[in-house]
Chain A
Amino acid sequence: MSAPATNAGHAAPSPTATDLVRIEGVHKYFGEHHVLRGIDMTVKQGEVSVLIGPSGSGKSTLLRCVNHLETISAGRIWVKDELIGYREKAGKLHELHLKEIAAQRRNIGMVFQRFNLFGHKTALENVMEAPVQVKGQDKAAARKRALELLDRVGLSDRAKHYPAQLSGGQQQRVAIARALAMDPELMLFDEPTSALDPELVGDVLNVMKDLAKSGMTMVVVTHEIGFAREVGDTLTFMDGGVVVESGNPRDVIANPQQERTRSFLSKVL
């Protein structure tokens, strides 16, 4: 990740083949509220990029912009050199059709703070839903793959359980399996452990660590500084809608360059 500065005016990062995500000059307004104030960052293939910052800093909003759950007000976001949400023709942006946006999202898995498992479907059905309904995969094949994924997150014995019968940590691991079922190249994690009891956090983080080791490109919004330090390849500290500081997690945590980063870290560590 190369997102050094706080202002929007600096030179955009140069596109390279290994950049899976490129975010350039992104602004976001919610009405009058200026939530993102010129964000530039890149995420390389296979990189684990951790976003931290106080609540209201815009980190979750930025994450949600990457798969177009939020529309950006200015700037550009590319995933795999494909412009997210728009088509640029003769210097003009055209909104993509919902069908095309859905197609872009298939390559980007997302895990939510509140899990958002489908309540009327079992763990297995949750994981099978998108491969069968979106990719048109054969049901038997989708079931086999779903069971493999549930096994991978340590929940093969929970396949027939409904979300309401699972603990928060188990639900979140099913949610990770559900996202992985679409074979995404990029995984977005929006505070995946914030809604969990402290003793359940470790299970989810372990699954995420495994995923990182397997080479998945991940963008993780979290308050787990320990996870950032151990698993993260880059750490980006956001505050007030701008990137304050970014770099190697161990360096940033041990030796923050900016006063705001220092004061934030002193509170959460």
Chain B
Amino acid sequence: MTVMTAPQAETTEATKGGAPELIKAVPVRHPGRWVAAAIILVLAALAIQSLATNPRFAWGTVAAYIMDVNVVRGVGWTLLLTVLSMLLAIILAIILAFMRQSDNPILRWSSWFWVWFFRGTPVYTQLIFWGLVTVLYPSISLGIPFGPQLATYILSDPSKGFIPAILGLGLNESAYLAEIFRAGLKSVDKGQVEAAEALGMRGTKIMWRIVLPQAMRVIVPPTGNETIGMLKTTSLVLAVPFTLDLTFVTNALANRTYQPIPLLIVAAAWYLLVTSILMVGQHYIEKYYGRGVDNLVAAAAVNPAAAKAAGAGTPAGSDTGNGTAIPGGPTAAGPTIEESGR
């Protein structure tokens, strides 16, 4: 404590002699940056001018149809398809990721097979298949295997294209999400599980309370990506066929009015709006699951001051007071122990 090191001494002297003279250097010029920026601005201006002046964009038609009741309903169906198929995919993916970690080889293999199959075939093909399932199985019955049937659901009803669409999108997506969840679970340190086990916690609880919340930090960003991807993949449901979603509705309007370009703009504008809203949601989910890891800078900066305050005062609750962070205590205690018996 008494010995002052050289750098500290210099700093003290400099401070004594007034504020140091700060460097004011002439910055290096970057003409290339200015040229690149100019090119981009000119291109952007051209694009805006074209959008504004080319009558074939038919902005009047865009305005007429953007809030059209069929279009807005189409947005609703597209959102519903996205949310429900992602929900199905997430539930399946969690199960698949857990199965992949199982000690039971049959569970591991079937999880691997599922991912192999659904990732290995085009989603368009799968959607057509789910549309045709009604031909293979006109109805689904709930019952005892090889025994009596308890409930029956008729599939071969054309208005029921919604369920095959959800199945097709959800099952395909579950294969991708399963890999994302698997990577997330693997990213959590093994020590976390050991610590929980040592406290007497058990498998499922450890998974839900310790591992999964920390894995979510890794899982959420790519899952948000997949959700936005799903929003647009729903435009393929005409393969089922399901004909109420945004893309199908705007295409139908375009065919009816012979004005494909403004109606494509209508569809694109809605997709962009929904994507933007989903991105906001993703931001908050990421923030929630990043707790304890991300955005700790502010709190950490408070630490040194708080540490000093703590060291100066409160004794520990223990009777000896040995547990307190006394200033100098941390440095003094170690050597003291070492020396005491030597």
Q: Indicate whether A and B interact.
A: yes
Q: Using a CB–CB distance below 8 Å, which chain A residues touch chain B? A: 67, 69, 98-99, 102-103, 105-106, 108-110, 112, 114, 116-122, 129-130, 133-134, 148, 151-158, 161-165, 169, 173, 175, 178-179, 182, 198-203, 205-207, 209-210, 213-214, 224-227, 229-230, 250, 253, 269
Please list the 3 inter-chain residue pairs (A to B) with the smallest Cβ-Cβ separation, ordered nearest first: A202-B333, A106-B200, A116-B195
Number of interface residues of B (CB under 8 A): 53
User: Which chain B residues (79-97) contact chain A, with CB distance < 8 Å?
Assistant: none
The interface residues of chain B, by DSSP majority, are classed as helix
| A-B pairs with beta carbons under 8 Å apart, 24 shown | A67-B198, A98-B202, A118-B195, A120-B217, A121-B292, A133-B205, A152-B316, A154-B323, A154-B324, A162-B296, A164-B296, A165-B299, A175-B195, A201-B333, A202-B330, A202-B333, A202-B335, A203-B323, A203-B333, A205-B333, A210-B320, A213-B320, A224-B337, A230-B341
**Contact indicator B334/A201 (Cβ below 8 Å):** yes
**Contact indicator B330/A116 (Cβ below 8 Å):** no
User: Which chain B residues (314-337) contact chain A, with CB distance < 8 Å?
Assistant: 314, 316-318, 320, 322-325, 329-337
- Chain B nearest CB: distance from A251 CB in Å? 12
- Chain A nearest CB: distance from B48 CB in Å? 46
B198: chain A residues at CB < 8 Å are 67, 69, 105, 108-110, 112, 179
Any chain A CB within 8 A of the CB of B214?
yes
B194: chain A residues at CB < 8 Å are 69, 112, 116
- Chain A nearest CB: distance from B210 CB in Å? 6
Any chain A CB within 8 A of the CB of B340?
yes
> Considering the chains assembled together, what is the distance between the CA atoms of A98 and B195 in angstroms?
15
Closest residue of A by beta carbon distance from B210: A118
**Contact indicator B330/A203 (Cβ below 8 Å):** yes
User: Which chain B residues (191-215) contact chain A, with CB distance < 8 Å?
Assistant: 191-192, 194-203, 205, 209-210, 213-214
> Considering the chains assembled together, what is the distance between the CA atoms of A227 and B338 in angstroms?
7
Closest residue of B by beta carbon distance from A227: B337
Any chain A CB within 8 A of the CB of B144?
no
Q: Produce 1/0 per residue, B163-204, CB < 8 A to A.
A: 000000000000000000000000001011011111111110
A112: chain B residues at CB < 8 Å are 191, 194-195, 198
> Considering the chains assembled together, what is the distance between the CA atoms of A108 and B90 in angstroms?
37
**Contact indicator B291/A120 (Cβ below 8 Å):** yes
Partner of B200, one of A156, A182, A209, A224: A182
**Contact indicator A156/B314 (Cβ below 8 Å):** yes
A158: chain B residues at CB < 8 Å are 310
B203: chain A residues at CB < 8 Å are 98
Known: A154-B324, A207-B323. A199 touches B200 (CB 8 A): no
Partner of B201, one of A102, A161, A179, A226: A102
A206: chain B residues at CB < 8 Å are 322-323, 329, 333
- Chain A nearest CB: distance from B5 CB in Å? 16
A-B contact sample (15 more), CB < 8 A, given A118-B196, A162-B299:
A118-B214, A151-B316, A152-B317, A153-B323, A154-B324, A165-B296, A169-B330, A179-B199, A199-B331, A203-B330, A206-B329, A210-B323, A224-B337, A226-B337, A227-B337
Any chain A CB within 8 A of the CB of B293?
yes
A253: chain B residues at CB < 8 Å are 341
Q: Produce 1/0 per residue, B26-46, CB < 8 A to A.
A: 000000000000000000000
> Considering the chains assembled together, what is the distance between the CA atoms of A207 and B206 in angstroms?
28
> Considering the chains assembled together, what is the distance between the CA atoms of A54 and B7 in angstroms?
39
**Contact indicator A161/B330 (Cβ below 8 Å):** no
> Considering the chains assembled together, what is the distance between the CA atoms of A214 and B322 in angstroms?
12
Any chain A CB within 8 A of the CB of B303?
yes
**Contact indicator B330/A162 (Cβ below 8 Å):** no
> Considering the chains assembled together, what is the distance between the CA atoms of A203 and B196 in angstroms?
24
Partner of A202, one of B197, B293, B334: B334
Closest residue of A by beta carbon distance from B313: A157
A225: chain B residues at CB < 8 Å are 338
Partner of B338, one of A116, A182, A214, A226: A226
B289: chain A residues at CB < 8 Å are 120
**Contact indicator A129/B199 (Cβ below 8 Å):** yes
B1: chain A residues at CB < 8 Å are none
> Considering the chains assembled together, what is the distance between the CA atoms of A61 and B174 in angstroms?
40
B332: chain A residues at CB < 8 Å are 202
**Contact indicator A205/B314 (Cβ below 8 Å):** no
- Chain B nearest CB: distance from A162 CB in Å? 4
Closest residue of B by beta carbon distance from A170: B325
Any chain A CB within 8 A of the CB of B300?
yes
Known: A134-B199, A199-B331. A226 touches B340 (CB 8 A): yes
Partner of A153, one of B191, B195, B316, B329: B316
> Considering the chains assembled together, what is the distance between the CA atoms of A207 and B189 in angstroms?
26
B330: chain A residues at CB < 8 Å are 169, 199-203
> Considering the chains assembled together, what is the distance between the CA atoms of A65 and B195 in angstroms?
14
